[in-house]
Amino acid sequence: MRLGTRGSALAIAQARQVAELLGGEQQIELVVVESSGSPANDKARWTRSLDNALLEGEVDFALHSAKDVPALRPDGIAAVGVPTREIASDSICGCSSLTDLPTGATVGTASPRRAALIGSLREDLRVVELRGNIDTRLRRLSEGDCDAAILATAGLRRIGRESEGNPLDTESFMPAAGQGTLLLEARSEDQRAHEVGGAITDPESMATLAAERAVVIALNADCHTSLGVYAQADQSTLSVEAICLAPDGSEWLRDRLEGEISKPDELGRSLATRLLASGAERLLAAGRGER
């Protein structure tokens, strides 16, 4: 079977890990499908080429970092596998913690969520745009383009650069929905792909991802909005919390719910309803540039 992946070092590393789970080189062929990575304000830029390859039968599976997958997926594509989640946290690179940075220091990120969280914790820091793959961002950091940078811990771990970052506490710096999780998709009617993907799925990771994505969908959040969502499973119980922030981090709303792990979507929607009732839409609209 053919496993479609983007061509970055991180994407290839992730695909190799999943290919091993699926049966190794004897069973799985990696197919690199390049994405344009543009326009920068379109989250689907990371998935569109793989979606097309999947729907056109060029690959049997498409592998994504779940945090990069838009809330609404094309007709004919279904989630078929979620391996065990990696660490969900962000890491700060270039220093040991946000508190150690001097007044007025620059922190590199292109994420509205990360920028808002930085502002909520240290309004004196200056956020500068930092884009590119992990190697590019770390190189720009080393060249002095910023004093520190925020990257996903899972990505650093998967390409063997974990030592260059210091994980941030998820309580104070909530990750993005799906961060640290890999999502395997296939054509909706491909029963064999569903069976193969299901065999490598971790039920708790599937449940946490479902709850987190349910929050995103119910809030109509996108790549412009400052939203952190984090779900954790404990046997039969699932907790999910979320934070909606103003773009500069000066205001935020935060809430948390617990429920049955068998109903992750319902739990996520309930949390979103509570946030909306408390005024989350105003903060999310500000991120989209709406009044």
Q: What is the mean pLDDT of the chain?
A: 94
- Quick check: 67 and 179 in contact, CB under 8 A? yes
Is 135 among the catalytic positions?
no
Is 67 among the catalytic positions?
yes
Is 137 among the catalytic positions?
yes
Domains of the chain and any CATH numbers: 2-83+181-201 (3.40.190.10), 90-167 (3.40.190.10), 212-287 (3.30.160.40)
Q: In whole angstroms, how far apart are CA 178 and each of 32, 68, 108, 122, 206? A: 22, 8, 21, 25, 10
Task: State yes or no: pLDDT of 39 exceeds 60.
Answer: no
Catalytic residue, candidates 114, 157, 158, 161: 114
Task: State yes or no: pLDDT of 46 exceeds 90.
Answer: no
Query: Token pair of 10, please?
Result: 């991180």
Is 95 among the catalytic positions?
no
User: Over the stretch 199-226, which tens digit does the pLDDT of each residue have?
Assistant: 999 999 999 999 999 999 999 998 889 9
Task: State yes or no: pLDDT of 175 exceeds 70.
Answer: yes
Catalytic residue, candidates 126, 131, 139, 256: 131
* Residue 61: pLDDT band with limits 50, 70, 90: very high
Catalytic residue, candidates 6, 85, 137, 213: 137
pTM: predicted TM-score of the whole model, two decimal places: 0.93
- Quick check: 232 and 261 in contact, CB under 8 A? no
Task: State yes or no: pLDDT of 133 exceeds 70.
Answer: yes
Catalytic residue, candidates 93, 146, 223, 244: 223
